[in-house]
Amino acid sequence: MAAMSVAPAARARKFRACLACILTLAGVPTVARAEDGSDLWLRYAAVESPVLLDAYRRTIASLVVQQSPATAAIVSKELARGLKGLLGAEVPARTSVTGDGALVVGTATSPIVAALGWNAVLKELGPEGFVIRHTLIGGRRALVIASAGDRGALYGTFHLLRLLSTGASIAQLDVRERPRHQLRLLNHWDNLNGSIERGYAGRSLWRWEELPATIDPRLHDYGRANASLGLNGTVLNNVNANAQSLTAAYIAKAAAIADTLRPYGLKVYLSANFAAPGTIGGLATADPLDPAVQRWWKDKAAEIYKAIPDFGGFLVKANSEGQPGPQDYQRTHADGANMLADALKPHGGIVMWRAFVYDASVDPDRIKRAYMEFVPLDGTFRDNVIVQTKNGPLDFMPREPYHAVFGAMPKTPNVVELQITQEYLGHSTHLVYLAPMWKEFFDTDTFARGPGSTVAKIADGTLQGHTVTAIAGVANTGNERNWTGHHFAAANWYVFGRLAWNSSLSSEAIADEWIRQTWSRRPETVQAIATLMLGSREAFVNYTMPLGLHHLIGGDHYAVMPENDDKRRLDWSATYYHRADAKGVGFDRTRGGSGAVDQYFKPNADRWNDPKTTPEKFLLWFHHLPWDYRLPSGQTLWQGIVAHYRRGAEQAADIERDWTALKGSVDDERYAAVAARLRQQTIDAAAWRDKCLAYFAQFSKLSY
Ligand code: BDP
């Protein structure tokens, strides 16, 4: 009777489930279950290889976690979840090592770790660093994750889970890790009304309206994801800051978020609106040298620290794009930053003062302005001020030379600001893996102190001896199920975290580990996905900014619009940048032009002053050249431009085709979501090619 009442569809489901069980038990990988991407890279999919599984199970047969209670709870929960998924069985938790194969997680003060005599190395690696090593405890085999601090033990736990998830051997582990940058932060451009500036994955995760009474459980997953990468701070609100975020009501909301994220090692920061003493404080001025204004900020800082004792500090966008700032009162950026720094200093907070300024009265060339305003201020900032600078001097273009400010302010620590959200890189529609772009930036030699003065060494403080170091990424998260809109956009969140931890990791290595955790461990699948990811940034550059032509976009920064001659501001148009005319195209930034090249150290300045020694990728960034200019390849400039647009459009189509070949190798749900977006990307890339070539041909009068 019972069997007869089962409907055919249900029976088929049951059959498939049984079959999957049998295949899994037999060690045969089954087609992955449908997934919505909400687990990100923390899927903990069952280990397929029987050999590895056996090795993992023998090494991790029991768990002993000895840390302060809040972190211990998170570590234990993550290990339980991760190991259950990976090893297919619960691993029992114990209070001491009772047999071979114990995984011990502890800090320098926990009894087991203290007895190991590892204090010197733990001290050297600091409270966020960790070791993972095999040892004997009471004669029993144990694998130990140890750190001087709770955070380090948490990061070490995620590190081990990553090794297991990627299918690494853990037989000879001797890991010593320590982050290269002290502050590793996400910057959320979230507004208090729930919208996100340049956000393409839904609405704000914070759900301000429900706070502080209701905490969205997703905040815990947000904490886990960031902790898994070693990120340790988050700026909650938009740099175009609403002063309301500093009112008592919003401080209480921020405090609720801070309480939730604290055990995951994340500190909370706020963007501050410089005019707040007037807007919400009732003062007649926000002049940083006015004692009443200084008092107001001191009181405000004290109020915030009462609610959030470990508050990180303020991020400030001042006198930029209409935001208020010290220059409204004829004061300098340093006057403004220092006033806030003094208010935060007694509590241990910092000010991240943004160098994203481009006042048109400073210089006709937009990319020179920030340098001209900030470099003369070097040495005048308090020691708890960090100047936050975007990687490039314009605004998160798909390719820019590094910002000349890096290395030119040796007395001022800097925060490198990268943009994870793809404002100028196809939003959440185009698949663009950003690691190669960020690596190119970190690896550039600035020559600030002679050869070998890479941006990476400036960012990590080693070149100029800075003790405060920081990396910030403008987040691409929102409340969509998969967090970032495009399943592949999550790779950019991942890569940002990994490079913030260690900027010397390679694009290839990070792609490999992300793919194994997120999609599949099958070597052919990993290889195929890695190939399309690794080529995607250059493809995007080819179809949107060949040879350094830049900013050919319209208002939403997505649409192709080389004819854009924005009437509001010249430097928001496209024509200001490409300067196409009958003779040629490109922005002359040589000594005969805007002179921007001389903001760079020699020999970069000299090399980039001459088109013959300028890397082709930056040719039209630094030079206005005739259409018949000869490229090293022998092609004319026009032919080169045409070739890049064509190649870019072809590459986009190739990425789509390569993805199609992966049908069945990854789960259907995510496969289809990615395929739909790639369809659009191919269409858009062709549109970029067609529109730009038709547009520029009007000037070159050449065919294509
Ligand atoms: C630009 C964005 C704008 C931001 C600004 C900034 O278009 O929305 O407010 O940068 O970084 O890229 O302040």
Distance CA 258, CA 267 (A): 7
Give nearest CA residue, ligand 1 atom 11. 356
Q: Which CATH architecture has domain 539-587+624-700?
A: Alpha-Beta Complex (3.90)
Q: How far is the CA of 190 from the centre of ligand 1 (A)?
A: 12
Query: Is-cis flag, bond preceding 376, omega within 30?
Result: no
Q: How far is the CA of 699 from the centre of ligand 1 (A)?
A: 31
Give nearest CA residue, ligand 1 atom 9. 240
User: Is 423 a known active-site residue?
Assistant: yes
Within 6 Å (CB) of ligand 1, which residues are found? 197-198, 239-240, 317, 321, 356, 395-396, 423
Residue range 490-500: mean pLDDT, rounded: 98
508: closest CA among 435, 597, 456?
Answer: 435
pLDDT value at residue 33: 57
142 and 103 in contact (C-beta within 8 Å)?
yes
Confidence grade of residue 487 (pLDDT, cut at 50, 70, 90)? very high
Q: How far is the CA of 419 from the centre of ligand 1 (A)?
A: 10
Asked if pLDDT for residue 6 goes beyond 90, the answer is no
DSSP state of 203: S
Q: Which CATH architecture has domain 50-177?
A: 2-Layer Sandwich (3.30)
User: Is 654 a known active-site residue?
Assistant: no
Confidence grade of residue 34 (pLDDT, cut at 50, 70, 90)? low
Mutation test residue for ligand 1: of 366, 400, 423, 551, the one with most atoms within 8 Å of CB: 423
- Atom number of ligand 1 nearest to Cα 396: 12
The pLDDT tens digits of the residues spanning 551-574 come to: 999 889 999 999 999 989 999 999
Q: Which fold has domain 183-503?
A: TIM Barrel (3.20.20)
Cβ of 680: how many Cβ atoms within 10 Å? 14
- Identify which has the larger pLDDT, 15 or 159: 159
Fold match between domain 50-177 and domain 183-503: no
- Atom number of ligand 1 nearest to Cα 557: 7
The mean of the pLDDT values for the chain is: 95
The pLDDT tens digits of the residues spanning 232-255 come to: 999 999 999 999 999 999 999 999
Residue range 103-129: mean pLDDT, rounded: 97
230 and 155 in contact (C-beta within 8 Å)?
yes
Catalytic residue among 299, 321, 610, 628: 321
The pLDDT tens digits of the residues spanning 442-458 come to: 999 999 999 999 999 99
Mutation test residue for ligand 1: of 395, 396, 427, the one with most atoms within 8 Å of CB: 395
Give nearest CA residue, ligand 1 atom 1. 395
Q: Which residues contact 473 (CB under 8 A, 6 or more apart)?
A: 185, 186, 187, 417, 418, 419, 420, 493, 496, 497, 500
Q: How far is the CA of 320 from the centre of ligand 1 (A)?
A: 9
Asked if pLDDT for residue 22 goes beyond 70, the answer is no
In three-state secondary structure terms, 48 is coil
Asked if pLDDT for residue 13 goes beyond 80, the answer is no
Confidence grade of residue 25 (pLDDT, cut at 50, 70, 90)? very low
Asked if pLDDT for residue 497 goes beyond 60, the answer is yes
Residue range 311-328: mean pLDDT, rounded: 98
In our burial notation (b when 16+ CB lie closer than 10 A, e otherwise), range 279-314 reads bbbebeebbbebeebbebbbebbeebbebbeebbbb
Give nearest CA residue, ligand 1 atom 10. 395
Domain extent listing, the chain: 50-177, 183-503, 539-587+624-700
pLDDT value at residue 12: 43
Q: How far is the CA of 388 from the centre of ligand 1 (A)?
A: 13
Asked if pLDDT for residue 513 goes beyond 80, the answer is yes
Confidence grade of residue 467 (pLDDT, cut at 50, 70, 90)? confident
List the single range of 3-12, 56-65, 578-587, 694-703 with lowest mean pLDDT. 3-12
User: Is 395 a known active-site residue?
Assistant: yes
Q: What percent of the chain has pLDDT over 90?
A: 95
Catalytic residue among 423, 440, 538, 588: 423
